[in-house]
Amino acid sequence: MLDGLNLTIKDKGIVAVLGPNGSGKTTLIKSILGMVIPNSGTIKLDGKSVKNSWKYRNDIDYLPQIANFPNNLTVNELIKMIKDIRAKKATDETRLIELFNMEKFLNEKLGNLSGGMKQKVNLLLTFMFDSPLVILDEPTSGLDPISHIRLKELIKAEKAKGKTILITSHIMNFVEEIADEIVFLLEGKIYFKGTISELKAKTNQPDFEHAIASILTDNYA
Amino acid sequence: MFMNNDLSKAIITFMNVIIMLVPLIGTIFGVMYYYDSKEFTELLLAQPIRRSHIFLGQYFGVALSLSMSLILGLGLPFIFYGIFKSAAIWDFVLLLVTGSFLTFIFTAIAFNIALANENKIKGFGYAILIWLFMAVIYDGLFLLTLVMFNDYPLDKFSLIASMFNPIDLSRILILLKLDISALLGYTGAVFQKFFGTSQGLIISIFVLSLWVILSTFNIFRISKKKDF
């Protein structure tokens, strides 16, 4: 899926990975996590290869794109279980539960939750730990407007702590507001890497959404 | 069992059930468990856990609980019935041991199939096919070759062929332990000579263990390379 990709992400700041559906955004993220195993090439984190290693995942908070949880567990049980697995102490749990207004369904079975509620659980599990690298795959999907705003604030607060944050999203306003740098993937290759203003200059478009759209229409035609 | 007081006969009756049902339950439940816990597996894969720990943990969880239910479910009634005072105690233990082996072997085969097939229906199909092959078709083919090559000495061949099917191996092992080799007909004598000795017993247990080890190792091998 990905081919000839050479990407270096510097410490600190928010990097947005963009691209049309099926361009390899999730594959890229899953490769970093070791869920997809590359046929060739290496992925290094802090200078160490991630191949056949697993401890490095302690330093990554990952938000999967589709929140697939075991249906027969309650939210509380799941939180407890993930806390058991991670070596790190969960720090922000109660604050996040309040932030996303989750007290009501903590004892519900995950199978009975709506898509947006599941996404909140997903966010909670991700931001509960204080890891230097945060990877968010479509964090905004299914969220109501209030949660959306709070999520943006949360991401900015995490950035202020000096974390590196990798985001994929299709909502351009959201990306424009928070991203320091963007990487545009097209058919498994990097099409553009740089800041938003650089992209605007390159495509001669006054706003970000149209800049992205112009890349896509050029390549779709 | 209540119809007669002969424990050996009761054991034979149970053997027929165990030899057929245990592999079937192992394969079906193994495949079902894998597909049903897929979301859970994906959740765990993103966490700092070794891949092999996730899959081998799932496998041993299923296989151990299935064999425990076999051992407790069959063992308790027989204990109350007074198996400890009976001479058939070792035959009964052998029955439970082979039953547990079969559980481990077929659950491992099921995990192999499930890991190799994304499509649930395909996975289930292959699992049932494997069971059908081992439990029924293999015997049929075996019998067919024996009949067709009646004029040749087939002792060695049948001995080796039985090693390649854990169900057959377990069945022969128990039958011969119960001294009813006469039922096995003309190759019975060879089998008796081989399986009846303690050496035969050790070799059979070794072959069953080999089945478990190889299929478990294959789970480890496949899971290491798979993309999620």
pLDDT tens per residue, range B50-82: 888 999 999 999 999 999 999 999 888 888 877
Q: Do the chains contact at B48 and A55, CB–CB below 8 Å?
A: yes
| Residue B106 confidence (pLDDT) | 95
Q: How far is the alpha carbon of A62 from chain B, nearest alpha carbon, in Å?
A: 7
Tell me how far apart the alpha carbons of residues B145 and B151 are, in angstroms, rounded to a whole number. Answer: 11
**pLDDT for the residue numbered A221:** 56
CB contact under 8 Å between B48 and A36, yes or no, is no
Any chain B CB within 8 A of the CB of A64? yes
pLDDT band at B184 (very low <50, low <70, confident <90, very high): low
Q: What tokens does A29 get? A: 């993220």
Is B135 among the domain residues? Answer: yes
Token digits for A11? 């410490």
Asked whether the predicted pLDDT for residue A87 surpasses 60, the reply is: yes
Task: Please report, to the nearest 10 degrees, the dihedral formed by the alpha carbons of residues B104, B42, A88, A78 taken in order.
Answer: -90
Token readout for B228 is: 């999620």
Show Cβ contacts of residue B53 under 8 Å, excluding neighbours closer than 6 positions.
none
- For the cut 80, the answer to whether the pLDDT of residue A90 exceeds it is no
- Alpha-carbon distance of B138 to B132, in angstroms, equals 8
Token duo for residue B73: 């479910």
Which range is least confidently modeled, A160-164, B30-34, B63-67? A160-164
Flag the least confident range among A75-89, A178-192, B181-195, B213-227. B181-195
Mean pLDDT over the full length of chain B: 85
Rounded (10°) CA dihedral B58, B60, B61, B65: 150
Q: What would the 3-class secondary structure string for A182-217 be? A: EEEEECCEEEEEECHHHHHHHHCCCCHHHHHHHHHH
Beta bridge partners of A182: A16, A194
CATH 1.10.10.10 fits A13-220, yes or no: no
What is the extent of the structural domain holding B203?
A: 7-225
CA-closest candidate to residue B195, choices B166, B170, B167, B161: B170
Q: Measure the CA–CA gap between B110 and B58, rounded to whole angstroms.
A: 12
Cβ-proximal residues to A16 (8 Å cutoff; 6+ apart), any chain: A167, A168, A169, A175, A178, A179, A181, A182, A183
Residue B1 lies in a domain: no
ipTM score of the complex?
A: 0.79
Q: Mean pLDDT for chain A?
A: 83
Rank A82-96, A145-159, B102-116 by mean pLDDT and report only the highest: B102-116
Please tell me the distance from the alpha carbon of residue B7 to that of residue B88, in angstroms, as a whole number: 7
Over residues B194-200, the mean pLDDT reads 73
Q: At residue B177, does pLDDT exceed 80?
A: no
- What number of other Cβ atoms are within 10 A of residue B121's Cβ? 8
Quick: pLDDT tens for B119-163: 999 999 999 999 999 988 988 888 888 888 878 877 778 778 888
Residue B1 pLDDT more than 50?
A: no
Angstroms from B66 CA to nearest CA on chain A: 21
Q: Which residue has the tokens 């099917």?
A: B165
Residue at B168 is within a domain: yes
Q: Do A62 and B46 touch (CB under 8 A)?
A: yes
Q: Number of folded domains in chain B?
A: 1
Distance from B221 to chain A by nearest Cα, in Å? 13
Most B-contacting residue of A27, A68, A118 (CB-CB within 10 A), to test interface:
A68
Domain ranges of chain A: 13-220
- What is the pLDDT, as a whole number, of residue B119? 92
When comparing pLDDT for B31 and A185, which is higher? Answer: B31
Give the closest of B38, B48, B227 to A87, CB-based.
B48
